[in-house]
Amino acid sequence: MIETLRFWAAVALLGLGVFFTFVSTVGILRLPDIYSRAHTASQTDTLGAGFALAGVAVAFGWRNVTVYTVLLLFFVFVTNPTAAHAIARSAAETGVEPLLADEGDETDAETVADGGEKR
């Protein structure tokens, strides 16, 4: 019984992890500029990695190594926003212009249409 529960819990967590990483990958390929891609990159780092590592923790059960998954998640949570910020800031300083929607007029549709992914 417990084994069954654990199995399905692990599978569900893995499924969610894969789903959010999938969304993040789609976002990184679809979104028009570096700044918006950085948003979706943090999805992999938070829920994608979070759910997958939770699945790993469930699979290992109460063992010594389970602490590792918590540590891993902690590192990912502490370091990745810092890295994302460093990347965004370096983009800003090297003069990469963000694509902005001008107060909700039609430019955002246009922005998406001629986005950078079709190069």
Partner 1 sequence: MIPEAFALEEAFLVAAGLFVVLAIAMFYRAVVGPTTQDRLLAVNVLGTNTVVILALLAVALDQPWFLDVALIYALLNFLMSVAISKFTVERGGVL
Partner 2 sequence: MAANRVLVPLSDTVTVRQTVDYAVRSGLEDADELECHLVVALPYDEEMPEGRTQAEEAEELLSRARNWAEEDAGDAEVRIETAALGTDEYLFGPRDYAEIFASYAREREIDRIVLDPEYQPGVTARILQPLERELDRRGVSYDEAPVDRPARHGRLVTGGQRFDQLFATFWISFGFYLVLGDPFYWFDIVTGVAVGGIVSTTLAQVTFSFPLDRVRSPIRVGRFILYIPYLLWEIVRANIAVSAVILRPSMPIEPTLARVNARVRSGLPLTALANSITLTPGTLTVRADDQRLLVHTLIPSAREDLFDGGLEKAIRFVFYGREAAGAIASPRERDDADVVGGDEL
The residue behind tokens 């190069």 is 119
* Binder of partner 1 out of 96, 98, 100, 107 (CB under 8 A): 96
Given partner 1, partner 2, none, residue 53, with its beta carbon under 5 to 8 Å by kind, binds partner 1
Task: Answer yes or no whether residue 60 interacts with partner 2 by CB under 8 A.
Answer: no
Task: Answer yes or no whether residue 21 interacts with partner 2 by CB under 8 A.
Answer: no
Q: Is the dihedral of CA 64, 69, 70, 71 positive or negative?
A: positive
Q: What is the DSSP letter of 31?
A: S
| Among the residue ranges 5-13, 52-60, 89-97, the one whose residues contact partner 2 (CB under 8 A) | 89-97
Contacting partner 1 within 48-67 (CB under 8 A): 48-49, 52-53, 55-56, 59-60, 63, 65
How many angstroms separate the CA atoms of 39 and 44, rounded? 10
How many angstroms separate the CA atoms of 76 and 66, rounded? 16
Q: Which two three-digit tokens encode residue 77?
A: 């949570």
How many angstroms separate the CA atoms of 93 and 87, rounded? 10
For binding to partner 2 (CB under 8 A), which residues are involved? 20, 23, 26-27, 30-31, 33, 35-36, 38-40, 42-43, 45-47, 64, 67-68, 71, 77-78, 80-82, 84-85, 88-89, 92, 97-101, 103-104, 108-109, 111-112
